[in-house]
Chains A and B, each alone.
Chain A
Amino acid sequence: MPAKLILSMDGVVLKEQVLNKERTLIGRKPHNDIVIDNLAVSSEHAAIITILNDSFLEDLDSTNGLTVNGTVTKKHFLQNGDLVEIGKYKLKYVNEQPAQSSPADFEKTMVLSRPVKMTPSEPSEATGKFNATPSAEISDETARLAPAAQVVSPVPQAAAVQILNGPNAGRELELVKSLTTLGKPGVQVAVLARRPHGFFITHVEGDKFPLLNGASIGEQPHQLNDHDIIELANVKMEFYFKA
């Protein structure tokens, strides 16, 4: 399903334009693909450049400009659901992935049988025109590219470790990155991995394994529970979830 623009004013849909051309023009004059007959609109107001499954919006130095999702923009890489406004007119960009393709068809790597020819944009031009020629053929019958399904991994609860002994006693280390290492390199190191379903401790280096609640963890990753006590390189610390 190719991407499209839905033109509306005051909630009334005026036109749906499928973006199947390399360059789709929006403006007041009749030669435009999307004609908006209103004096606030420049004769050639904006263009949409489409390269396979991606579309880019560009303001063609129009008198009154345009906004995307409320922000004045000259050039914009369109994302599904973006709202382009030209005066009182609204253009909604819709680029949905086909619902019927099986997950196995998602994101198969494919070869372009001919390289897509592209002329670099001329840097001297203030508007920075796009000059792409998307003359690509895709050598695969599953040519319908499924856009990347946004996988939102569940974010684990915030957690931290607090040092319980030695000169740094009381110091707290929040576990914000996906990996955090503890210990002394070359002596004894363990890594805490933040994963969608919790935090895990794994031995990295050293002759001795870290102790978890007094017991050696060995080579395997161990999931951490609230108020677990970790000991390594003679430092004792407590793992806990933050409220």
Chain B
Amino acid sequence: MNIQDALEIVSRTDPGMVRSHNEDSVASESSCGLVVLADGMGGYNAGEVASGIAVSVLATEVKHFLQDIKPEEPDAFSGEDTGVVLLRDNVQKANASIFHAAESQPQYSGMGTTIVSALFYDDRVAVAHVGDSRMYRLRSETFESITRDHSLLQEQIDSGIISKEDARTSKNKNLVTRAVGIDAEVEAEVHVHEVQVGDIYLLCSDGLNDMVEDDEIGDALQMLRANLSLAASELIQMANDNGGRDNISVIIVKINGKFSAPHGWVAKLLSWFKS
């Protein structure tokens, strides 16, 4: 199955109940199996500028590179999947664009953004993230986050200072330890996971997971898996019903079929004739 038929993608973004403008940005390129979500920060409209740059750089650049190279092939230098290298390099490119825009224009000074991006290829998904935007996976009954926030709270949880339960009432939420565009360089965390037919992936900004408990998010995806656009609007509705204190963005990706890359000599020959 080609990637476009194998994936069902729905994305939605909402300013929430409190904020006057939306600093989140989302994009999806179903033709190459790419989704990107960013949650910007900074005064005036700098937040949406930063998240907008990040999403457009990543979406355009990765799509452009994928015209010539295959994400499943190992990278000549690192031996990692080319898809991983593509995500990492282009998060860095987005970082440089935002950093330079902020340096040259005083009204954008200090702007930055979180990012979470997933590239699906060859029955795998490469996930890159910086900051506290998350990617969750629903696989049969199990709903869990497959990214780990770059935040003060997560560090405190990891080092045993605060329990996961106590973290809910912490007043140190919203402090990220890594962001795109703040410094000259940024290191995206990238992992590859195998993908199964029936999996549902959810990318979201903290406006969702700060307002709605993980269990409820998982239940909603499970119950509404037959209707992803309804699932997306219900999730946003739930966050808004609970106060909607931040912008809320969601991208839902459902795996409807296998999308393994052509292997073996017949496939290679065929693809050679095609190109």
* The one of B161, B172, B179, B216 that contacts A178, using a Cβ cutoff of 8 Å: B216
Number of interface residues of B (CB under 8 A): 50
A120: nearest chain-B partner, CB-CB: B159
Q: Are B227 and A204 in contact (CB under 8 A)?
A: yes
Rounded to whole angstroms, the CA-CA distance of A111 and B50 in the bound complex is 14
Q: Are A205 and B18 in contact (CB under 8 A)?
A: no
Q: Are A130 and B161 in contact (CB under 8 A)?
A: yes
In the assembled complex, 18 residue pairs joining A and B whose CB atoms fall closer than 8 Å, in A order, are: A106-B18, A107-B174, A107-B210, A108-B41, A109-B114, A109-B132, A109-B174, A109-B176, A121-B160, A139-B110, A145-B175, A177-B219, A178-B219, A179-B234, A189-B226, A202-B230, A204-B223, A204-B227
Interface hub of A123, A179, A180, A189 (most chain B Cβ within 10 A)? A179
B237-266 to A contact mask, C-beta < 8 Å, 1/0: 110011101100000000000000000000
* B177 contacts the other chain (CB 8 A): yes
Q: Are B169 and A77 in contact (CB under 8 A)?
A: yes
A residues contacting B by CB (< 8 A) are: 51-54, 56, 77, 79, 95, 103-104, 106-113, 115-116, 118-121, 123, 128, 130, 132, 136, 138-140, 145, 147-149, 151, 153, 177-181, 185-186, 189, 191, 193, 195-196, 202, 204-205
Q: Are B206 and A109 in contact (CB under 8 A)?
A: yes
Knowing A56-B161, A107-B173, A111-B179, the reply to whether A205 touches B245 (Cβ < 8 A) is no
Rounded to whole angstroms, the CA-CA distance of A139 and B112 in the bound complex is 11
Rounded to whole angstroms, the CA-CA distance of A90 and B210 in the bound complex is 34
* The one of A54, A118, A148, A193 that contacts B234, using a Cβ cutoff of 8 Å: A193
Q: Are A145 and B171 in contact (CB under 8 A)?
A: yes
* The one of B166, B178, B230, B242 that contacts A204, using a Cβ cutoff of 8 Å: B230
* B64 contacts the other chain (CB 8 A): no
Q: Are B156 and A51 in contact (CB under 8 A)?
A: yes
* The one of B112, B160, B242 that contacts A111, using a Cβ cutoff of 8 Å: B112
Q: Are A116 and B152 in contact (CB under 8 A)?
A: yes
A35 nearest CB across to chain B (Å): 27
Interface hub of B182, B210, B216, B224 (most chain A Cβ within 10 A)? B224
B27 nearest CB across to chain A (Å): 20
Q: Are A111 and B159 in contact (CB under 8 A)?
A: no
CB-defined contacts of B162 to chain A, threshold 8 Å: 54, 56, 77
* B275 contacts the other chain (CB 8 A): no
* B185 contacts the other chain (CB 8 A): no
Cross-chain pair count, CB within 8 angstroms: 143
Q: Are B41 and A111 in contact (CB under 8 A)?
A: yes
* B220 contacts the other chain (CB 8 A): yes
Interface of B is mostly: loop
* B14 contacts the other chain (CB 8 A): no
B157 nearest CB across to chain A (Å): 11
Rounded to whole angstroms, the CA-CA distance of A57 and B182 in the bound complex is 34
Knowing A111-B41, A145-B172, the reply to whether A191 touches B230 (Cβ < 8 A) is yes
Q: Are B159 and A112 in contact (CB under 8 A)?
A: no
B180: nearest chain-A partner, CB-CB: A111
CB-defined contacts of A113 to chain B, threshold 8 Å: 182
CB-defined contacts of B230 to chain A, threshold 8 Å: 191, 202, 204
CB-defined contacts of B173 to chain A, threshold 8 Å: 107, 148
* B48 contacts the other chain (CB 8 A): no
Rounded to whole angstroms, the CA-CA distance of A191 and B221 in the bound complex is 12
| Apart from A147-B171, A179-B234: 18 A-B pairs, beta carbons within 8 A | A51-B152, A52-B171, A52-B175, A53-B171, A104-B18, A109-B175, A110-B174, A110-B175, A111-B178, A112-B152, A118-B156, A121-B159, A145-B172, A145-B175, A178-B216, A189-B226, A191-B230, A202-B230
B167 nearest CB across to chain A (Å): 9
Q: Are B171 and A54 in contact (CB under 8 A)?
A: yes
